[in-house]
């Protein structure tokens, strides 16, 4: 009862005082304390090869459980954290937590972590990543950083220098949400990506919509030509999956292949299953 009153009061203020500015200010403040208050956790979504269905790794996705408002979606709070700069310490927490989790797995699965523009351009980003790898003991070859194009356009020179430093460490870099930015093709040429992630909006109904199919085939052709594996995001149906497999898309991610889940649930799902698999082979 008290909780729902709190929520109503909050909504009232949002309307009374100019929704955007005020609620953003409140959220900025809350985000600055959310790491220390243990309000964040990560969920992990499987990435699988499309020919054999083999699990190759997980993407870490950030979740914020607000004490009064419940789960707030990253689409809502990440832009606020980026604008206030809070994304830098939050992103460091994400990297550290994800690398620590992966270092504890029994198999050598890879871990993909989203890095925002502000973080990529923050002071000594590559050194921070290097330190986290040393602290957690994760091999750099198991870490992949996902970057959207908007991260690159701010300051191309600096972005390129940082990406090169990361690659020197042995980390892989994936272009996230491919096709949704303004200059996907020139960015693909200018930056040393190791993987293309086609945005889920292009995968929707790819098996029944000729236009979507044409675009996806073209991206797969670019990947083949450049020698870069392509991952399809947001695979939701068996029809989408069979289209992608038939067109030789190498990797998939999406609800049809596995939902994002907390670390404890993975133990049974992916990672233990891998172990069982190798036990069975040994027997
Ligand atoms: P993204 O990196 O492109 O992540 C994929 C998003 O698609 C995730 O949303 C995931 O839950 C969702 N998704 C996965 N499979 C499906 C599917 O089959 N259908 C549909 N409709 N959606 C699917 P989520 O977790 O809400 O994250 C949204 C975005 O927020 C991410 O997009 C990423 O840009 C950002 N984000 C999430 N975690 C972090 C983080 O730790 N750091 C930063 N900087 N950004 C993050
Ligand atoms: Mg991503
Ligand atoms: Mg994406
Ligand atoms: Mg996205």
- Residue list, ligand 1 pocket, CB within 6 Å: 45, 61-62, 73-75, 78, 91, 94, 114-116, 146, 176-177, 200, 233-236, 254-255, 260
pLDDT for position 10: 60
**What residues sit around ligand 3, an ion, with C-beta below 5 angstroms?**
176-177, 233
- Tell me, in angstroms, the distance from the centre of ligand 3 to residue 184's CA: 13
Query: Ligand 1: which residue has its CA nearest to atom 30?
Result: 74
* Inter-residue contact 252 to 234 (CB < 8 Å): no
> How far apart are alpha carbons 201 and 67 in whole angstroms?
32
Tell me the per-residue pLDDT of 156-190, one tens digit each, with 9 for 90 and over: 899 999 999 999 999 999 999 998 887 778 888 88
The CB-side HSE value for 268 (13 A sphere, CA atoms) comes to 4
Residue 202: Cβ within 10 Å count: 23
pLDDT tens, position by position, 225-255? 999 999 999 999 999 999 999 999 999 999 9
| Torsion angles phi and psi, residue 113, rounded to 5 | -125, 135
DSSP code string of 158-191: HHHHHHHHHHHHT-EEEEEEETSSS-HHHHHHHS
């Amino acid at each position: 009862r008290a909780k729902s009153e709190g929520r109503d009061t909050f909504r009232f203020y949002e309307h009374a005082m100019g929704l955007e500015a005020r609620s953003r200010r409140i959220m900025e403040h809350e985000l600055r304390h959310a790491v220390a208050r243990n309000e964040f956790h990560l969920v992990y979504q499987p990435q699988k090869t499309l020919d054999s269905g083999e699990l190759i790794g997980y993407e870490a996705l950030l979740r914020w459980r607000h004490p009064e408002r419940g789960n707030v979606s990253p689409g809502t709070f990440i832009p606020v954290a980026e604008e206030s700069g809070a994304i830098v310490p939050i992103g460091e927490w994400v990297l550290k937590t994800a690398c620590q989790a992966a270092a504890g797995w029994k198999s050598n699965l890879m871990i993909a972590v989203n890095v925002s523009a502000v973080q990529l351009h923050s002071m000594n980003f590559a050194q921070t990543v290097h330190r986290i790898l040393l602290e957690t003991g994760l091999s750099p070859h198991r870490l992949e950083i996902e970057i959207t194009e908007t991260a690159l356009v701010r300051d191309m020179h600096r972005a390129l220098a940082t990406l090169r430093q990361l690659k020197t460490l042995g980390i892989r870099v994936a272009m996230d949400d491919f096709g949704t930015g303004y200059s996907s093709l020139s960015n693909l040429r200018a930056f040393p990506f190791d993987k293309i992630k086609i945005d889920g909006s292009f995968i929707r109904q790819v098996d029944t919509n000729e236009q979507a199919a044409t675009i996806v085939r073209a991206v797969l052709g670019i990947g083949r030509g450049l020698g870069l594996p392509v991952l399809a995001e947001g695979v939701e149906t068996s029809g989408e999956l069979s289209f992608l497999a038939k067109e030789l898309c190498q990797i998939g991610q999406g609800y049809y292949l596995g939902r994002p889940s907390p670390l404890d649930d993975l133990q049974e799902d992916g990672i233990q299953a891998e172990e069982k698999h190798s036990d069975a082979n040994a027997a």
